[in-house]
Amino acid sequence: MLRRGGILIKSYPDFAVEPRNVRLALCTDWFAPHGQYGRTYSCWSVILTSYNFSLGMCMKPEYMFLTMVIPGPSNSKRCIDVYLEPLIKELLQLWHVGVLTHDHAMNQAFMMRAILMWTVNDLLVYGMASGWSTAGIMGCPVCMENTQAFRLQHGRKACYFDCHRQFLSHDHPYRRNKRSFTKNRQKRKIARPRLTGDEIHRRVEQYGTVVEEPLTYPPGYGNVHKWTKKSIFWDLPYWNTHLIRHNLDVMHIEKNVFDNIFNTVMDMDVADPTSGPGH
């Protein structure tokens, strides 16, 4: 398991051998200080959690570290990297050098280092953190330009229906199911293997960061790719060796889906909850 050290032991044995070194996750989300539907003002919270705690403890509020609050009233989504820069600088120091820390149990001082394992977000913030826009066609950050998404005939909205049976094992019964997915269609195609961290890094290396290119998207955006920037997380020297860099918070997305359905059914006049505060 990653949190017990698996890939860390292989890639960074000097880091993994010290159990007091900290494994962190970064959670970013909107919140509206003036109530759930007060859409005139929204903030960003950036929270770090530590996987050194047991699974029952690491997501408890008392062990979550509110690292920064990015004030509103509106937020430039692509430019979250500018706000994250001081945090990334501290993470770099924590990785390369560490900080002198007192171990109360052993009564000794040691250099504590830290690694950022991944981010945990809803789909919208996933796009901001990873740099691959998750909106519209080609919004799936796994399928990328090989997406099978299509536009609905009348509403013209992007639809991802039946795009991901290709990831099932070759003999999975769903692949032969002609009734529950697209009518009369079996899925024989095998999905392309996921790009490795090195492969993705090579792709984004040619693009500018939001500091270098604050106003323009990389050439080809929307046509051949959905990269909006070279994400600041690539500054972390270990980022390309992680198997998973960005995670989706499923409970959060479930709430957004529920809000959408509920507001539609009740004919409530609110903006799309997936584009606003998550809590």
Residue among 131 and 277 whose Cβ is closer to Zn ion? 131
Choice between 120 and 143, CB closer to Zn ion: 143
User: Minimum CB separation from Zn ion for residue 137, in Å?
Assistant: 11
φ, ψ of residue 94 in degrees (nearest 5): -65, -25
Residues shown for the chain = 279
CA 230 to chain centre: 14
Sketch the per residue contact string, 114 through 143, with Zn ion: x for CB under 5 A, - otherwise: --------------------------x-xx
As a dihedral over the C-alpha atoms of residue 160, residue 166, residue 167, residue 171, rounded to 10 degrees, the angle is 140
CB of 172 to Zn ion, least distance (A): 17
| Residue closest to 114 by CA, chosen among 66, 168, 52 | 52
Binding to Zn ion in span 142-161, by CB under 5 A: 142-143
Closer of 162 and 213 to Zn ion (Cβ): 162
* Minimum CB–partner distance for residue 93 and Zn ion (Å): 36
Minimum separation from the CB atom of position 108 to Zn ion (A): 49
Dihedral-angle region of residue 131 (phi above 0 means left; psi in -120 to 50 means alpha; beta otherwise): left
Under rule CB under 5 A, how many of the chain's residues touch Zn ion? 3
Handedness of CA 174, 177, 181, 187 (dihedral sign): positive
The CB-of-238 to Zn ion minimum distance in angstroms stands at 26
Minimum CB distance to Zn ion smaller for 147 or for 263: 147
24/140 with CB nearer Zn ion = 140
- Token pair in block for residue 25: 């996750």
Minimum distance, C-beta of residue 142 to Zn ion, in the bound complex (Å):
5
Residue 43 identity: C
Distance (Å, whole) CA 204 – CA 228:
10
State the CB neighbour count (10 A cutoff) for residue 249: 19
Question: Closest distance between Zn ion and the C-beta of residue 110, in Å?
Answer: 44
In the bound state with Zn ion, the residue whose beta carbon lies nearer, of 69 and 135, is 135
| Cα gap 88→8, rounded to integer Å | 20
Share of the chain residues as helix, strand and coil, in percent rounded to the nearest 5 = 30, 20, 50
User: Of 4 and 188, which CB lies nearer to Zn ion in the complex structure?
Assistant: 188
Summarize as ranges the residues that interact with Zn ion (CB under 5 A): 140, 142-143
